[in-house]
Amino acid sequence: MTPGSGITRLEIQVRGIVQGVGFRPFVYRLATEERLAGWVRNTSTGVQLEVEGPESSTSAFLRRLREEAPALARIEEIVTERRDSQGATLFQIRDSSFEDGKGQLVSPDVATCADCLAELMDPTNRRYRYPFTNCTNCGPRFTIITDMPYDRPSTTMRSFRMCPECQSEYDDPSDRRFHAQPNACPVCGPHLTLLDAHGKVVPCTDAIAKTSSLLTEGAIVAIKGLGGFLLACDATSRHAVSLLRQRKQRPSKPFAVMVTDLHVARHHCEIGDAEAALLESPAAPIVLGRWKRESSVCPDTAPGLVFLGLMLPYTPLHHVLMRDCQRPLVMTSGNLSEEPIIADDDEALERLSDIADYFLLHNRPICSRYDDSVAMVVDETPQMLRRARGFAPRPVDTPFRSPPLLATGSQTKNTFTLATGHHAFVSQHIGDLDSVETLDHYEATVSLYTRMFRIEPKLIAHDLHPDYLSTHYAQQMASQGLRPIAVQHHHAHIAACMAENAYEGPVIGVAYDGAGLGSDGHIWGGEFLICDFRTTRRAGHIEYLPLAGGDAATLRPYRTAAGYVASLFGKSTVDDNHSLRSHIAPEELSAIVSQVEHHLNAPLTSSMGRLFDAVAAIAGIRYETSYEGQAAIELEAAAHRNSGIHGSGYTLPVDNTPEGHIVRVGGLLTAVLRDATNKRPDTEIAAAFHEAVAQMTTTVCEELARNSGIHTVALSGGVFQNRLLLSRVWELLRTAGLTVLVHNELPSNDACVSLGQAAVAAHAE
């Protein structure tokens, strides 16, 4: 600063998500309004700028920099230093400056903004109905980025040369398309093509209008979107929906539905303020809402369920299509059963040709495959069920510093986490690691994240399970010199919940899920842990029971039920239960009894998920499943339908043993068997069971709190995706005076496991 001049010059570094979100034009406008000179540029770590002018203006500038930042920006840190005045008079936007080896944050894809939507629907605008309209506030981001820095040549837009009009928007600091990397228009940008199932072009003047009329006539259309192909059909047509189920070989797993806007969403589902905010957020996830009776969406869209997944249009293509169609559309991942979403045109034409009648393609390549995210709201709090588009790769801020490390995650609902410093980059939902396609997707995404965020891992964390493909991958990496760290599955669950809540522990951890290998070699899943990031102690669990046929039982809840009942009370008790017995062939029942009696292929489990399965089967709600968690989801649905008081009648007594608190389930199973025989409504049985689990959970936590002096409880595991259980446990624990931590950024299912592994590995000595 020049003495006496009253002029200040500041150098300012801004870190966070400040690129690809309109930050430099915002700085330019602010500086101009405050009549400041200087410059701004993107760097490897964020945005750097210098401003020069009267002290009152620079301090106003600094205040407004925080307060008025673009909606999509996430400022993590602003560092200011005084510099000598240079007598500058102009404000400029300078070229980006990048040092290698330094990572920066990348914005997830963003749903179409209000300004772009207005242009899209304006017949006089040059982008009227143009399906690739975007600006610095919206549009594709991570799905088109091939490397950093985020500039057009490092995106899949590189092959499109901007026309003069687009170029002048791109170059004009006052334009909302200034440096909008995917900027495009009908003259210079990507285009749609409509093909039939044989790959032949369908002649039409307007591909979206034609697609709309085909959908209205009952066709199934594969639509290339942001992160991959979605399969669409008319959600009000019973015929179209059942055809899609048949062809996709997906008999009952629920489909999500896209509706035109919030107003229409409210016609189909009960949408509270929190649900509405999520639906309309820039991330625009699928949100579960209680399905209304008067909804025209056909029941087969989510068979047997009381909640329906809705989403709003999130690309210009969707907006135009939904306006043309004027009806809700099923939109489900374009893949075969549990394989990753298909993103490549040729692959889609080859692999989806038996499912789709038509293909709506475009020529903007997809770099990263992304599924739609799924969320729900429990007690006004958003809960993620699947985290992908709109959320990843935004990092989770951790309360601890990590050395550069990779956590390889679980086997099902896999994500991995790449961590360094206070950032944990949890990948988008990858899927179940049990096919070559998913494993390829996994490895490709690991290498993309490693490259993009410039993280070279030194540690590699993995599950204890030797057969998980994520564990194999970790072993491969360990052979290349990375230090391996094995983390028990449920410890990882609880550590993830702690990390998200920036809580260092210790906590009482309640981990309820389907299965995870325990440190004693048995299958855990109904666990009470006392843990922090460094250590864990198993303080209680559901009693061990034999799982007849091992993994085979997970698709056949009746096997779990029969095995449990037979091992606790003998075969005759199974024989006494008419409904259970009538669903099992006599030979299969003998096989089950012999497996549990002779401990043959009947691994011991303490799983809460399997207890839900057993109760669902005994109550006659679900004997066999076609998707993971189906029995538990339908048991919850039955409980939601129960109009009576959350009737109890069931208890889960807890024994205090040298091994900790052991939850006994025999009494409850006897009561459910008796009630099922006496034709007690399954809705009441379901509600009473939920209540018994919630009461037991609270009793054990209170006891552990008394003995340990720890008064914070962390809840994790896929079973807590049950909103009834989560809400009730939460309420009871709070009433008992305990502090409750739940997931909010990540799902409580196995998608969170990699973050927990990363947290534990970051604390390994």
Dihedral sign for Cα atoms in the order 341, 344, 350, 355: positive
Nearer to Fe ion, 390 or 516 (CB): 516
Nearer to Fe ion, 199 or 466 (CB): 466
Question: Residue 88: exposed, middle, or buried by beta-carbon count in 10 A (0-12, 13-18, 19+)?
Answer: middle
Nearer to Fe ion, 70 or 718 (CB): 718
d(CA 271, CA 289): 6
Question: Residue 273: exposed, middle, or buried by beta-carbon count in 10 A (0-12, 13-18, 19+)?
Answer: exposed
Nearer to Zn ion, 132 or 512 (CB): 132
Both tokens of residue 226?
A: 């942001």
Long-range contacts of residues 35-40, Cβ cutoff 8 Å, at least 24 apart: 36/61, 36/91, 37/88, 37/89, 37/90, 37/91, 38/9, 38/88, 38/91, 38/92, 39/91, 39/92, 39/93, 39/94, 40/91, 40/92, 40/93, 40/94
- The answer to the question of residue 185 lying near Zn ion (CB under 5 A) is yes
- The answer to the question of residue 118 lying near Zn ion (CB under 5 A) is no
Q: CB under 5 to 8 A by kind: which of Zn ion, Fe ion, none does 163 bind?
A: Zn ion
Question: Residue 675: exposed, middle, or buried by beta-carbon count in 10 A (0-12, 13-18, 19+)?
Answer: buried
- The answer to the question of residue 188 lying near Zn ion (CB under 5 A) is yes
- The answer to the question of residue 7 lying near Zn ion (CB under 5 A) is no
**Smallest separation, CB 525 to Fe ion (Å):** 7
Nearer to Zn ion, 113 or 499 (CB): 113
**Smallest separation, CB 188 to Zn ion (Å):** 3
**Smallest separation, CB 761 to Fe ion (Å):** 18
Q: CB under 5 to 8 A by kind: which of Zn ion, Fe ion, none does 750 bind?
A: Fe ion
- Considering only 40, 135, 222, 542, the residue that binds Zn ion (CB under 5 A) is 135
Scan for tokens 């298909």, then name that residue. 342
Q: CB under 5 to 8 A by kind: which of Zn ion, Fe ion, none does 634 bind?
A: none
Nearer to Fe ion, 509 or 516 (CB): 516
Q: Name the one range near Zn ion by CB under 5 A: 26-34, 127-135, 230-238, 584-592.
A: 127-135
Q: Of the candidates 389, 454, 450, which has an alpha carbon nearest to the alpha carbon of residue 142?
A: 389
d(CA 553, CA 569): 19
397: amino acid identity, one letter: D
Question: Residue 495: exposed, middle, or buried by beta-carbon count in 10 A (0-12, 13-18, 19+)?
Answer: buried
Produce one character per residue of 42-76: b if its CB has 16 or more CB atoms within 10 Å, e if not. Answer: bbbbbbbbbbbbeeebbebbbeebeeebbebbbbe
**Smallest separation, CB 186 to Zn ion (Å):** 7
Nearer to Fe ion, 61 or 528 (CB): 528
Residue nearest to Fe ion (CB): 513
**Smallest separation, CB 137 to Zn ion (Å):** 5
Nearer to Fe ion, 119 or 513 (CB): 513
d(CA 722, CA 634): 10
Q: CB under 5 to 8 A by kind: which of Fe ion, Zn ion, none does 613 bind?
A: none
- The answer to the question of residue 111 lying near Zn ion (CB under 5 A) is no
Q: CB under 5 to 8 A by kind: which of Fe ion, Zn ion, none does 284 bind?
A: none
d(CA 134, CA 139): 5
**Smallest separation, CB 416 to Fe ion (Å):** 15
Q: Which residues contact 455 (CB under 8 A, 6 or more apart)?
A: 103, 404, 418, 419, 420, 425, 449
Nearer to Fe ion, 402 or 414 (CB): 414
Q: CB under 5 to 8 A by kind: which of Zn ion, Fe ion, none does 214 bind?
A: none
Q: Name the one range near Zn ion by CB under 5 A: 138-146, 272-280, 669-677, 739-747.
A: 138-146
- Considering only 166, 269, 376, 604, the residue that binds Zn ion (CB under 5 A) is 166
Q: What is the 3-state secondary structure (H, E, C) of 112-141?
A: CCHHHHHHHCCCCCCCCCCCCCCECCEECC
Q: Name the one range near Zn ion by CB under 5 A: 183-191, 327-335, 525-533, 689-697.
A: 183-191
**Bridge partners, residue 83, by sequence:** 9
Q: CB under 5 to 8 A by kind: which of Fe ion, Zn ion, none does 166 bind?
A: Zn ion
Rounded to 10°, the helix 207-216/316-325 angle is: 50
Q: Name the one range near Zn ion by CB under 5 A: 10-18, 131-139, 284-292, 447-455.
A: 131-139
- The answer to the question of residue 113 lying near Zn ion (CB under 5 A) is yes
d(CA 130, CA 146): 24
**Smallest separation, CB 314 to Zn ion (Å):** 12
**Smallest separation, CB 170 to Zn ion (Å):** 9
**Smallest separation, CB 414 to Fe ion (Å):** 11
The Cβ of residue 174 has, within 10 Å, a number of other Cβ atoms equal to 9
Angle at 393 between CA 387 and CA 398, to 5 degrees: 90
Cis-peptide into 393, omega within 30 deg: yes
Residues at the contact surface with Fe ion, assessed by CB under 5 A: 513, 516, 750
- The answer to the question of residue 138 lying near Zn ion (CB under 5 A) is yes
Q: Of the candidates 388, 289, 315, 405, which has an alpha carbon nearest to the alpha carbon of residue 760?
A: 405
Nearer to Fe ion, 321 or 746 (CB): 746
**Smallest separation, CB 319 to Zn ion (Å):** 12
- The answer to the question of residue 662 lying near Zn ion (CB under 5 A) is no
**Smallest separation, CB 113 to Zn ion (Å):** 3
Give the CA distances from residue 1 to residues 12, 35, 53, 750, 761, in Å, rounded to whole numbers and listed in that order: 15, 17, 10, 55, 47
**Smallest separation, CB 611 to Fe ion (Å):** 15
Nearer to Fe ion, 38 or 516 (CB): 516
- The answer to the question of residue 279 lying near Zn ion (CB under 5 A) is no
- The answer to the question of residue 209 lying near Zn ion (CB under 5 A) is no
**Smallest separation, CB 711 to Zn ion (Å):** 47
- The answer to the question of residue 137 lying near Zn ion (CB under 5 A) is yes
From the centroid of its chain, how far is CA 59? 40
Q: Of the candidates 744, 685, 665, 735, which has an alpha carbon nearest to the alpha carbon of residue 503?
A: 744
Give the CA distances from residue 709 to residues 428, 533, 611, 706, in Å, rounded to whole numbers and listed in that order: 37, 18, 30, 6
Q: CB under 5 to 8 A by kind: which of Zn ion, Fe ion, none does 398 bind?
A: none
Q: Name the one range near Zn ion by CB under 5 A: 108-116, 199-207, 637-645, 651-659.
A: 108-116
Q: What is the 3-state secondary structure (H, E, C) of 425-478?
A: EECCCCECCCCHHHHHHHHHHHHHHHHHCCCCCCEEEEECCCCCHHHHHHHHHH
Q: CB under 5 to 8 A by kind: which of Zn ion, Fe ion, none does 209 bind?
A: none
**Smallest separation, CB 180 to Zn ion (Å):** 8
Q: Of the candidates 608, 426, 455, which has an alpha carbon nearest to the alpha carbon of residue 525?
A: 608
Nearer to Fe ion, 45 or 749 (CB): 749
Nearer to Fe ion, 360 or 752 (CB): 752
Q: Of the candidates 110, 109, 118, 185, which has an alpha carbon nearest to the alpha carbon of residue 319?
A: 118
User: Which stretches of 530-681 are DSSP H helices?
Assistant: 557-569, 571-576, 578-582, 586-598, 608-618, 630-641, 666-677
Both tokens of residue 346?
A: 């040729």
The answer to whether 461 and 416 are in contact (CB under 8 A) is no
- The answer to the question of residue 430 lying near Zn ion (CB under 5 A) is no
- The answer to the question of residue 180 lying near Zn ion (CB under 5 A) is no
Both tokens of residue 369?
A: 């495959």
Q: CB under 5 to 8 A by kind: which of Fe ion, Zn ion, none does 513 bind?
A: Fe ion
Nearer to Fe ion, 513 or 745 (CB): 513
Q: CB under 5 to 8 A by kind: which of Fe ion, Zn ion, none does 740 bind?
A: none
**Smallest separation, CB 585 to Zn ion (Å):** 60
| x/- letters, 297..336, toward Zn ion (CB under 5 A) | ----------------------------------------
- Considering only 163, 444, 478, 662, the residue that binds Zn ion (CB under 5 A) is 163
Binding residues (CB under 5 A) for Zn ion: these are: 113, 116, 135, 137-138, 163, 166, 185, 187-188
